[in-house]
Amino acid sequence: MMIDINKFSEYLHNKIGIIIDSKNIHHVKDFIQKNTAKKEISDQIEISFDDFFEPKILELLINKLTINETYFFRDSTHIDFIKDFVKQNISKKGLIIWSMGCSSGEEAYTIALILKDMGILDQKNIPIKIYGFDINTNFLEMARKSIYSSWS
């Protein structure tokens, strides 16, 4: 069975926002080859990628395609923005921060360290929650373990 690489790339972009380009197309081609070799589906019928690929299989591809570029205190512009935003918006109601695309967690932990440095985490009457999200399950597991190298 042949799968149109362009259609599959468009599917991935629409489903998870990842753009397939010359740097990562080989991962997609390998993935398609490995995961369609045993499928008995006619070339003549239109398939739904959602039905064809099991979520766990797609998770493996997503984990290959995502970028793990992260480290503590990565961008001073963002850090300054966070400090200013928190100063202007902190209240007794507290603060909920979502770190989207947190990779292995350095950004979310950096936010916690910034709030600690600002003295906000020491104020027991202000509830603070920081959530880290990422599409790559391997990176999230690293974040849960909170073990980092000197590079971080």
Query: Per-block average pLDDT, block size 10, for the chain (152 residues)?
Result: 76 84 83 67 52 73 76 84 90 88 88 93 88 90 86 75
CA distance 151 to 99: 20
Q: Indicate the angle between helix axes 25-36 and 5-16, nearest 10 degrees.
A: 110
CA distance 104 to 148: 9
Cα distances (Å, whole numbers) of residue 57 to 31, 53, 88 = 9, 6, 44
pLDDT at 41: 46
Confidence (pTM) = 0.63
pLDDT at 115: 94
pLDDT at 42: 46
pLDDT at 80: 93
Burial class of residue 64 (count of CB atoms within 10 Å of its CB; 0-12, 13-18, 19+)? middle
Delimit the domains of the chain by residue range: 5-65, 76-145
Looking at residue 94, its amino acid is G
Cα distances (Å, whole numbers) of residue 86 to 3, 77, 100, 122 = 49, 14, 17, 15
pLDDT at 17: 84
